[in-house]
Amino acid sequence: MRLSRLCLMVFLCSLSASPLAWATSPPRSENGLALTPPMGFNDWAHYGCHISQRLFVKTAQALLRTGLARLGYRDVNIDDCWMARHRNAYGQLVARRTLFPRGLKWLGHYLHAHGLKFGIYEDAGYKTCQGRPGMYGHIREDVRTFAAWGVDYLKLDYCDPPMNRYPGLDFSQVAHRVYGAVSRALRHSGRAIVFSCSPPAYVYGQPKAYAEVMSWIGSVCNLWRTDDDVYDAWKSILANYQGNVGLWRYAHPGAWNDPDMLEVGNPGLTLCEQRTQFSLWAEMAAPLLISTDVAHLSPQALAILSNRAVIAVDQDPLGVEARRVRREGPIDILSRPLVGGAHAVVFFNRGPAVARATVRLTTLGIRRGPVLLRNLWTGKAAVARDRITVRVASHGVVMFRIRSVGSHPAIRPAPTRADWVHN
């Protein structure tokens, strides 16, 4: 673990210990958008710059054919590399004609005609991460262009910040001014455009700067990247989880911590690890943006992404992100309240072998039983009264939806251990 990451983990632990109560009524987004975490597709983690009009049409068709769109995966988001190296003679952004021969306005219309949404990428600074024209100095005209193209979602990166234009101001102050200007332009664009921001990811590992950015990000953006780019490996999933799990107090309907895209369907993770990422992201109320070849998902990967019970946790309208309430050896125990008084609880095994953990219901924020435990991956159910004991596979999770059942003669109480292993 890098020293900078270790320093920030101390900062995150201090947030987790905050006395802020779950019962506090959360605020809502200022623009009224993204009241549940966005769901859909983003190309970057899987395709990088290897994109085309055909890819997004094919992905849209696959979201519809597989039923993923009906489950909520409706955002189809283009990342970097879509634009020409230079603006046109009128200072406008131009899509690369070789990649998008019909243009992005056509693509937006195509997606809308099929009940999907259109997302696009830009950078708040001078250039994008891949050296394309950035938005700084062109905010109003670029927002007008995006609105004319039918854009529903803007991911705004921060690879080349305009620090030289604001002498005496620090990273957070400059980012606040620039992103604030874009946010205002979006709200006056005449179109409802969800705003995804990136500043926290660029000061990850710098606790003071990170705290400064997080102090204002939710008043400007609907979601924000909290860590490095995710990639198709377990260590990346674990790192982004650890960077995100302590940030629960910043999330609320319309404002979400984003640990980056889903790697479900990519070969670098086992099926167990793919289920784990999906479960943890849902428990943390994170955006669910698939980044894989959706048209060729395996039945197993499609089943993971189609788990309605886990999706319902992610999309719960209460919008409270889970808190890590306990660590027992290699197992993290997360709990979040849901609408109607239920709780979603995840036991996550970070370690290399099967491990066991026990937790009292009161530690989870749940009154003593009887309560009904429903395993969201196996469908099995049992009743507990005071505590739960589970065994969890290496890199796996056991995920429950828990609700009070009172006196329920049709359900036999579970033994002392609810002893399920997620393989």
Query: In sequence order, what are the residues at sequence separation of 6 or more whose Cβ sits closer than 8 angstroms to the Cβ of residue 208?
Result: none
Q: Nearest to residue 398, comparing CAs of 345, 351, 352?
A: 345
Contact 325, 339 (CB under 8 A): no
Number of Cβ within a 10 Å radius of residue 174: 20
Contact 199, 213 (CB under 8 A): yes
Q: Of all helices (H) and strands (E), which one includes residue 53?
A: helix 53-65
Spatial separation of the C-alpha atoms in residues 143 and 32, rounded to whole Å:
18
Spatial separation of the C-alpha atoms in residues 330 and 314, rounded to whole Å:
24
Q: What is the DSSP string of 275-339?
A: HHHHHHHHHTT--EEE-S-GGG--HHHHHHHT-HHHHHHHT-TT-PPPEEEEEETTEEEEEEE-G
Q: Phi and psi for 373 in degrees, rounded to 5?
A: -100, 125
Query: In sequence order, what are the residues at sequence separation of 6 or more whose Cβ sits closer than 8 angstroms to the Cβ of residue 19?
Result: none
Active site residue 157: yes
Q: Could you tell me the two tokens for 121?
A: 């990428």
Active-site pick, 43, 75, 142, 157: 157
Active site residue 229: yes
Helices 3-16 and 207-217, axial angle in degrees (round to 10): 50
Spatial separation of the C-alpha atoms in residues 373 and 382, rounded to whole Å:
5
Q: What is the DSSP string of 162-227?
A: -GGGSTT--HHHHHHHHHHHHHHHHHTSSS--EEEE-HHHHTTT-HHHHHHHHHHHTTT-SEEE-S
Query: In sequence order, what are the residues at sequence separation of 6 or more whose Cβ sits closer than 8 angstroms to the Cβ of residue 335?
Result: 322, 323, 325, 343, 344, 345, 346, 364, 365, 366
Spatial separation of the C-alpha atoms in residues 191 and 187, rounded to whole Å:
8
Residues annotated as catalytic are 157, 229
